[in-house]
Amino acid sequence: MPVRKNTPLPEAAGPEASGPEPADEPAREPRTLDASRLSLIAVLLLAASALFVSGFTLGARVATTPGTPADEEARWAPFWDVYKLIRQEYAGSPQPSPDQLVEGAIKGMMSTLNDPYSYYQSPEDFRNALLNVGGQAEGIGVAIQLQPALNSGTTDCQLAGGGCELAIVRTIPGSPAEDAKLEAGDVIAAVDGVALDGLNIDQIVALIKGQRDTSVTLTILRGTSRTDVTIVRQVYDRIEVEGRVLAGGKVQYIELHGFNGPAYSQFRLALADALEEGRHSIIVDLRGNGGGYLPAAVYIASQFIESGTLLYQVDKDGALTEITTNTKPDEPALALDPSIEVVVLVDGGTASAAEILAGALQTRGRAVLVGQTTYGKGVVQEWLPLPDDKGGIHLTIARWLLPNKVWIQGKGLSPDIAVSTEGARAGTDPVLDAALEALHYPPESSPSPSPSLSPSPVPS
């Protein structure tokens, strides 16, 4: 199989020339667009008011004119026949609109691909996705999880109630939740006066999330106090990178939430500050990181790896493209010195571009992975807006391989040091403790006596 060398990677696209929950997917850069197509995307981005699976790229509009090509008329004749029959004869209620029929047809086409990462989004959902691409989010800005209540004897929490409670894992810096002084470990007992008993995590998130400028009231339990806190939902800038100093100033912890918007520049700044302060033990936390733009992952990996292969991409024809280390002009790599020790934290929510970074560092022998097996997403999507603000599609356009040409799809990356989170509660972190021990420093969390909690925290 021939191997093509990569070319320099341009900046990510988005509202400010930048770019989940779950994107999902290591994203390719946008295709070259003519002026009219650039205008369309600019309108979509400016109008955008956030998911998992992540790596993504914003592509060109799919069609410039409506209608059926002459050489496709016979093939499409049954479609138009059914469309007209529904419009003229269907007597059920409610009557679908023409737009609903077209959206249904698009969804049907996408479903034939049998690919969970290729799908259609309505105009509103696509605009919200673009908001996420731009490094913003809408809501109150908390990550939540279901966990057993203390001394409940419960061992499995799929629904709230019955010994299970909803806890805040963290608030997002700059979000309404942070402004409202919510804290990690707070328990949410009710939303707008509605008790959460019997609800799963997705149903609870649906209650908490909502449109900007609307309010939600959370009943918060903190210790022995019970308080109602009303928060106005807003669009807020999502901080992609958070850092703190551990082990008495000897270890730099950098949490990377995604690869959108300013992720690379924020990460490089945090790394530079740590090295200037003499901290040569670095913990990079990729847990719950669903991915984002591929170039951001390449730029960050290149801070630690001097040269050579970071990954391969394989297109639909089987052509293999080698993607190697790459740094921006006037921004040389910061952490090539092998005396700089690197540990990467991973879990089942580490996906796509986050797996590209973790996999490159692990495979090239530059970092130790600590935690649980990663998600296992080895494919690349483009985000393609449809004309006239009719939504858009996510379409798988390539596979990606580790530097040793291993495909992790459905398998994920195995950590070098496996750590179970069974029994961990909000406010404790056995994975981080194991990372500190791997760097020869004592753990900093208190032991956790309680049983298992729900999977990766869910943003709201």
CATH number at residue 55: 3.90.226.10
* Residues 303, 371 within the same domain: yes
* pLDDT interval class at 460 (50, 70, 90): low
CA–CA dist 416, 289 (Å, integer): 19
Domain limit, last residue, from 418, 438, 453: 418
What letter does residue 259 receive in the DSSP assignment? B
Q: How far apart are CA 285 and CA 320, in angstroms?
A: 30
Residue linked to tokens 């080895």: 378
Query: Which domain covers residue 142, as residue numbers?
Result: 138-237
- Domain finish residue from 200, 218, 237: 237
Backbone phi, psi, residue 282, to 5°: -120, 130
Spatial contact of 388 and 126, defined as CB atoms under 8 Å apart: no
Within a domain: residue 373? yes
The answer as to whether 368 is a domain residue is yes
Give the strand pairing for 281-285 and 341-346.
parallel
Q: Coil, strand or helix: which one is 397?
A: strand
In this structure, the answer to whether residues 274 and 378 fall within a common structural domain is yes
For residue 281, list its beta bridge partners.
251, 341
Mean pLDDT of 300-305: 98
Specify if 120 maps to a domain: yes
Report yes or no on 293 lying in a domain. yes
Beta strand segments in 251-391, E: 251-256, 281-285, 309-314, 320-324, 341-346, 368-371, 379-385
Confidence of residue 433 (pLDDT cuts 50, 70, 90): very high
Q: Please tell me whether residues 189 and 245 are part of one structural domain.
A: no
Place of tokens 């069609």: 63
> 216 and 256 share a domain?
no
| pLDDT (0 to 100) of residue 133 | 65
173: tokens are 């810096």
Per-range mean pLDDT, top range of 5-14, 380-389, 411-420: 411-420
For 333-357, what is the mean pLDDT?
A: 96
Amino acid at 392: G
Could you say which DSSP state residue 172 is in?
Answer: -
Q: Are residues 353 and 316 in the same domain?
A: yes
- 385 and 411, same domain (yes or no): yes
Same domain, 267 and 400: yes
Q: How far is CA 267 from CA 241, 243, 253, 412, in A?
A: 6, 9, 11, 24
The domain total for the chain is: 2
Dihedral of alpha carbons 153, 157, 161, 166, sign: positive
Select, from the ranges 66-70, 106-110, 126-130, the one with the highest average predicted confidence (pLDDT).
106-110
* CA gap 259, 54 in Å, rounded: 9
23-32, 386-395, 422-431: segment of lowest average pLDDT: 23-32
Q: Mean pLDDT score of the chain, rounded to an integer?
A: 82
Q: Containing H/E element for 36?
A: helix 35-47
Does one domain contain both 271 and 348? yes
Quote the tokens at residue 155.
Answer: 């061992």
Which of these, 59, 29, 28, 23, lies nearest to 44 by C-alpha position?
59
Which of 237, 265, 296 marks a domain boundary? Answer: 237
Domain annotation covers residue 310: yes
Q: Which residues contact 1 (CB under 8 A, 6 or more apart)?
A: 318, 319, 320
Please check whether residues 251 and 390 belong to one and the same domain: yes
- Residue 315 banded pLDDT, cuts 50, 70, 90: very high
Residue-wise pLDDT tens digits, 180-238 = 999 999 999 999 999 999 998 888 988 998 888 999 999 999 989 999 999 999 988 77
- The reply to whether 453 falls in a domain is no
Same domain flag for 265 and 218: no
What does the buried/exposed string (b/e) look like for 190-219 if buried means 16 or more CB atoms within 10 Å of the residue's CB?
bbeeeebeebebeebbebbbbeeeeebebb
- Beta bridge partners of residue 403, listed in sequence order: none
Is 435 within the bounds of a domain?
Answer: no
For the stretch 124-167, pLDDT in tens is: 888 877 777 666 778 898 888 888 888 887 777 889 998 999 99
Q: Does 380 fall in a domain? A: yes
Closest CA to 50 of 314, 236, 310: 236
Return the residue matching tokens 């992975």: 369
Same domain flag for 166 and 303: no
72 DSSP 8-state letter: G
Going by C-alpha positions, the residue among 135, 107, 181, 162 that lies closest to residue 16 is 135
pTM of the model: 0.69
Do 173 and 58 belong together in one domain?
no
R_g (Cα) of the chain, nearest Å: 23
Q: How many beta carbons lie within 10 A of that of residue 225, not counting itself?
A: 7
Percent of the chain whose pLDDT exceeds 90? 59
CATH of the domain at 156: 2.30.42.10
Q: Is the dihedral of CA 257, 260, 266, 271 positive or negative?
A: positive
